Amino acid sequence: MNKGLNVHSEIGALKKVCVHRPGMDLVNMKAEDFDRVWIHDAFYLDYAQKEHDQFTDLLRGAGAEVVYMEELLAETFDKVEGTRAEFMTKFMGESGISNAALRQAVVEKLDSIKDNKEFVLAAMGGLYVRDLEIPHVGGSLASLDGDELKGDDMVLFPMPASYFSRDPLAVVGKGATMNRMYWNQRNREVIFYETVLRNHPDYAGSPIWYDHNSEWHIEGGDILNINAKTLAIGISERTQTAAIDELAKNMFWGSDEAEIENIYAIKIPHGYAYMHLDTVCTQVDRDKFTVYPGIYQTLRAYRLTKGDSEGEVHIEELEGTLQHILELATGMDHITMIECGGGDPIEASREQWNDGSNTLAVAPGKVCVYERNVVTNDALYKAGVELLVAPSEELSRGRGGPRCMTMPFWREEI
Q: With helix as H, strand as E and coil as C, how does the chain read?
A: CCCCCEECCCCCCEEEEEECCCCHHHCCCCHHHHHHHCCCCCCCHHHHHHHHHHHHHHHHHCCCEEEEHHHHHHHHHHHCCCHHHHHHHHHHHCCCCCCHHHHHHHHHHHHCCCCHHHHHHHHHHCEEHHHCCCCCCCCCCHHHHHHHCCCCCEEECCCHHHHCCCCCEEEEECEEEECCCCCHHHHHHHHHHHHHHHHCCCCCCCCEEECCCCCCCCCHHHEEEEECCEEEEEECCCCCHHHHHHHHHHHHHCCCCCCCCEEEEEECCCCHHHCCHHHCEEEEECCEEEECHHHHHHCEEEEEEECCCCCCEEEEEECCCHHHHHHHHHCCCCCEEEEHHHHCHHHHHHHHHCCCCCCEEEECCEEEEECCCHHHHHHHHHCCCEEEEECCCCHHHHCCCCCCCCEEEEECCC
Q: How far apart are CA 218 and CA 210, in angstroms?
A: 9
What is the predicted pLDDT for the residue at 272? 67
Q: Which residues pair with 170 in a beta bridge?
A: 177
Q: Which residues pair with 176 in a beta bridge?
A: 171, 208
Q: Integer distance in angstroms from the first to the last C-alpha of the chain? A: 19
Query: Is the pTM of the predicted complex or chain greater than 0.85?
Result: yes
Of 18, 281, 368, 404, the catalytic one is 404
Beta-carbon contacts of residue 93 (< 8 Å; ≥ 6 apart): none
Please indicate whether residue 368 is annotated as part of the active site. no
What is the predicted pLDDT for the residue at 239? 97
Note down pLDDT in tens along the chain; length 414 residues.
678 999 999 999 999 999 999 999 999 888 888 878 778 788 899 999 999 999 999 999 999 999 999 999 999 999 999 999 999 999 999 999 989 999 999 999 999 999 999 999 999 999 999 999 887 645 455 554 545 778 888 999 999 999 999 999 999 999 999 999 999 889 999 999 999 999 999 999 999 999 999 999 999 999 999 999 999 999 999 999 999 999 999 999 997 789 999 999 999 887 766 789 998 999 999 999 999 988 887 689 999 999 999 999 999 999 989 999 999 999 999 999 999 999 898 998 898 888 889 999 999 999 999 999 999 999 999 999 999 999 998 888 888 899 999 999 999 999
